[in-house]
Amino acid sequence: MFELRSRFNAHAVAGLCAASGKWIGKTLRALREDNRGGTAVLAAIMFPAVIGGFGLGAETGYWYYTQRKIQHAADVSAHAAGIRKRSGDSAAVYEAVALKIATDSTFRSYMGTIEVNSPPLTGAYAGNTDAVEVILIENLPRLFTAIFSNTTVPIRSRAVVLIEDGAVACILSLGPTESQGIGLGGNSSINLDGCDVASNSLMPTAYDQGGGPSMTTGCIHTVGEGNVAGGSLTLTDPDCPEIDEYAPVVADPYADRAEPTFSSNCSNFNAQAGGNGQGQGQGQGLATQVQPGHYCGMQFSGQGAYNLNTGVYIVDGADFRINSGVTVTGTGVTIYLVNGARIVINGGATVDLSAPTSGDFSGILFFAERDESVQLNHIIDGSANTNFEGAIYTPTDDINYAGGAGGVNGCLQVIAWTIEFTGNSEFESDCTNSGTTDIAVNESITIVE
């Protein structure tokens, strides 16, 4: 009985297995032929790749957006740095301005670096001292691309601006808060051939003309405003029909020139004219030869002639004074005024002086020390017969230019805190080979890279 039951069970199991196999085969064949739900399977397989692609695209798009954003920041910060450089500010100042403008333009300095170079280190304007280069870098953290690398992504932008030439001035007032930067009064007549006038004063009378004077120049540029209450004003530049008000600040062209060094003790100046040419006051009336040195003032008097030999003259504590009837000449000289020394040239004097054309003091004829505790007034009398070649540079002092002096057939610059004209003067600005540095006005700033 047991044997029959076992055989029956075996046959049943075998039949069940055969039936199951047929069902499985039939089901698999049905699944193979049934295309319902295929999209879901493919989607399940492809979705990770699709989502990853979207993520990578979004991240690279964010990189591009960031690059465009910091390119704008680089452009405006380079332009701002160029403005400060044009005004004569130091590298430290225009670098700080570039950083401030960049961060205000959404550049995240805490995520990167800023580099300001003048002259630029690379590109078409590398080595050009009139150009400013700004390089911004933001280091972005990775998002989807972190599966490939864990380093940050540097996004870099660069801009270069060029300060391009405008006009050239021969008269420059540096004082920004003086009520009158450049004044013209009386019946003075000023004729400036080939050069402009510039005043850095912010005031409504940055250029102030009253009475019956006449001024002829290419153009007048004022940071503030101009006031012409009398006389005549002739502007010969066709692009300057009236005073150029609210103009950019004009840089001091000699701001980077170091002042002369000298020993602590000065010597008395006791040369006398009318002698043998050796300063002894005896002989045939030859011009007294004066040697460079450190003098406790220099006063030229008498009816004779003096010749200043080439070099630097330190005038310490007392005036450089030329009295009536004296003739003073000199080529390649720089006269440095210190400890209260002034320029005083009286009427009836004849003066013909020129600055050196090379060296540390190239182009500077008179150089008054900077940052004096007392603001001095230098005087050039209107009845003096004078011819100057070079710059009269008194950056913290005033000049009263009473006329009778100029740079006829040559180059004369007057650069002072304030300047007042009360006499007749004629200036020419043919400064070729003169050794002077141009007083650049109306310069433009252009993004070139």
- How far is residue 437 from each of residues 198, 309, 376, 398, measured CA to CA in Å? 15, 23, 24, 21
Domain coordinates in residue numbering, the chain: 39-164, 167-444
- How far is residue 96 from each of residues 78, 103, 447, measured CA to CA in Å? 11, 11, 19
Q: To 10 degrees, the CA torsion angle through 344, 347, 352, 353?
A: 10
What pLDDT does 1 receive? 43
What pLDDT does 8 receive? 47
Strand 220-222 with 196-199, pairing: parallel
What pLDDT does 363 receive? 93
What pLDDT does 213 receive? 87
pLDDT in tens, the chain (449 residues): 444 444 445 555 455 555 556 666 666 566 566 566 556 666 566 556 666 566 667 777 877 888 888 999 999 999 999 988 888 888 899 999 988 898 888 888 888 889 999 999 999 999 999 899 999 998 888 877 777 778 888 889 999 999 888 888 999 999 998 889 999 987 788 888 888 999 999 999 999 998 888 889 999 999 999 999 988 999 999 989 999 999 999 999 999 999 999 887 889 987 766 655 555 555 555 788 999 999 999 999 877 899 999 999 999 999 999 988 889 999 999 999 999 999 998 878 888 999 999 999 999 999 999 977 788 999 987 666 788 899 999 999 999 987 655 555 568 899 999 999 887 776 666 777 788 988 989 888 999 99
